[in-house]
């Protein structure tokens, strides 16, 4: 009987609660959506499985900011990765290094005006942050972390939330990546609502040729200027631009391939698992999680609309032969390259294949990556980390 009693005490079966079963279901749902629907599988599979691991009683596979603040003799596996990778702000900037090595800024440099569309598509971040604070009574730091969901940039959301509201990390990360995966569902109704048939048929002009010198100087100059204006954004922007310089220099192919291949894949595995492990049922299954999901879709929708409406505004002042297709403004959210592809698919179908704005949409799309990182830097500067 003593042996049976010991086994019962050490078995997680007898410690299962309803929260565990709900989180198992949520983790399973994320994995299902990733595999069956192909919704951001590289992140949702690790996050979903991490959520299951983090809710196994007595398994010591969860991770949290509270545990990170404690001095423990024994640090569980995923908590160790949280302490060294999330709390220290290491993993998100490394993701940005890989993103930079994968990003081609030529569509942006060939159409510099699209930089404005990428900036205007960040408006949802600030609208949602204000709503979170004044309507839902979140603290200013929590509101900033929720608002950044509108940037449609998972690593930036994790980076900012880990500094300002680590207890919301799981909910914010799941919202950010889920809405990124739902771009094909979210974009079309907003595009139909805010653009006319005539606007969708506006031809896309040929981009200006971009010199090799320009693509090499761009990451250097952008890094210096942006980080001087907003130093708190330097970890993200600095790594993004360094990765891009590795890509464009033409003499660091091995480094570029490593950053955009093995390195970003390894970090993605760790980041996803640890984010999932922060989703403990007792902290995740609260009303504020629902509020975060609602505010996240509001942020995303307003960011999408912001890019479209600013493109329409530009058309009021641009010459007739230089007007831009406002649909490309939707791609200003930084879900690269999915946002640009969805815009391309929408416009092509609406025009029976006569207008194909993919490369034009890539301009605001990659500008949105810079914009969301700068928005995070603004929050850190104003609210502190």
Cα–Cα distances in Å, from 140 out to 47, 188, 384? 27, 32, 10
- pLDDT above 90 for 74: no
- pLDDT above 80 for 11: no
Lowest mean pLDDT, pick from 71-80, 84-93, 368-377: 71-80
What does pLDDT average to over the chain? 92
360 and 337 Cβ atoms separated by less than 8 Å: no
Give dist(CA 103, CA 94) in Å, integer.
14
What pLDDT digit, counting tens, does each position of 248-283 carry?
999 999 999 999 999 999 999 999 999 999 999 988
What pLDDT digit, counting tens, does each position of 85-116 carry?
999 989 999 999 999 999 999 999 999 999 99
CA proximity to 328, closest of 372, 297, 370, 359: 359
Question: Tokens 């983790």 belong to which residue?
Answer: 27
Cα–Cα distances in Å, from 362 out to 29, 276, 322? 31, 30, 18
Give the pLDDT score at 179: 87
- pLDDT above 80 for 3: no
Is the pTM value of this prediction over 0.85? yes
CA proximity to 77, closest of 55, 62, 58, 57: 62
302 and 65 Cβ atoms separated by less than 8 Å: no
Give the residue extent of every domain in the chain.
102-251+287-383
Work out the average pLDDT over 344-373.
95
DSSP code for 58: T
150 and 333 Cβ atoms separated by less than 8 Å: yes
Phi, psi of 271 (to 5 degrees): -65, -45
Band (pLDDT 50/70/90 cuts) for residue 385 is low
DSSP secondary structure string for all residues of 158-202? HHHHHHH-GGGHHHHHHHHHHHHHTHHHHHHHHHHHH--HHHHTP
Residues of the chain with pLDDT > 90, as a percent, come to 80
Give dist(CA 165, CA 65) in Å, integer.
9
DSSP code for 84: I
Question: Tokens 């192919």 belong to which residue?
Answer: 253
Give the pLDDT score at 66: 74
What pLDDT digit, counting tens, does each position of 179-236 carry?
888 899 999 999 999 999 999 999 988 888 999 999 999 999 999 999 999 999 999 9
Percent helix, percent strand, percent coil in the chain, to nearest 5: 75, 0, 25
- pLDDT above 70 for 132: yes
Give dist(CA 146, CA 293) in Å, integer.
9
Farthest-apart Cα atoms in the chain, separation: 87
242 and 220 Cβ atoms separated by less than 8 Å: no
CA proximity to 88, closest of 190, 27, 163, 196: 163
């Amino acid at each position: 009987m003593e042996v049976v009693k010991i086994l019962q005490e050490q078995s997680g079966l007898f410690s299962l609660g309803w929260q565990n079963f709900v989180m198992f279901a949520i983790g399973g749902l994320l994995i299902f959506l990733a595999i069956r629907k192909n919704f951001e599988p590289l992140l949702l599979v690790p996050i979903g499985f991490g959520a299951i691991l983090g809710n196994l009683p007595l398994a010591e596979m969860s991770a949290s900011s509270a545990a990170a603040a404690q001095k423990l003799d024994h640090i569980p596996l995923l908590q160790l990765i949280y302490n060294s990778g999330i709390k220290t702000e290491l993993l998100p900037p490394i993701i940005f290094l890989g993103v930079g090595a994968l990003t081609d800024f030529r569509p942006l440099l060939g159409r510099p005006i699209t930089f404005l569309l990428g900036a205007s598509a960040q408006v949802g971040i600030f609208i949602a942050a204000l709503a979170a604070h004044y309507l839902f009574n979140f603290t200013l730091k929590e509101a900033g972390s929720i608002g950044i969901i509108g940037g449609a940039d998972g690593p930036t959301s994790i980076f900012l939330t880990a500094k300002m509201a680590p207890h919301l990390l799981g909910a914010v990360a799941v919202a950010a990546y889920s809405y990124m995966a739902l771009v094909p569902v979210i974009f079309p109704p907003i595009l139909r609502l805010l653009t006319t048939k005539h606007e969708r048929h506006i031809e896309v002009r040929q981009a200006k040729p971009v010199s090799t010198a320009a693509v090499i100087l761009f990451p250097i100059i952008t890094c210096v200027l942006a980080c001087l204006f907003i130093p708190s954004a330097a970890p993200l922007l600095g790594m993004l631009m360094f990765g891009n310089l590795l890509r464009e220099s033409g003499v660091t192919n091995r480094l570029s391939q490593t950053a955009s291949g093995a390195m970003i894949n390894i970090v993605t595995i760790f980041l996803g698992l640890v984010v999932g492990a922060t989703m403990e049922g007792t902290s995740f299954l609260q009303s504020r999680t629902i509020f975060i999901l609602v505010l996240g879709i509001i942020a995303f929708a307003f960011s999408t609309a912001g890019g479209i409406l600013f493109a329409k505004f530009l058309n009021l002042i641009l010459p007739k032969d230089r007007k831009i297709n406002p649909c490309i403004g939707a791609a200003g959210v930084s879900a690269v390259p999915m946002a640009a592809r969805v815009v391309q698919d929408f416009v092509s179908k609406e025009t029976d294949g006569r207008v194909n704005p993919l490369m034009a949409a890539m301009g605001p799309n990659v500008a949105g990556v810079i914009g969301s990182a700068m928005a995070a830097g603004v929050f850190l500067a104003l609210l502190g980390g």
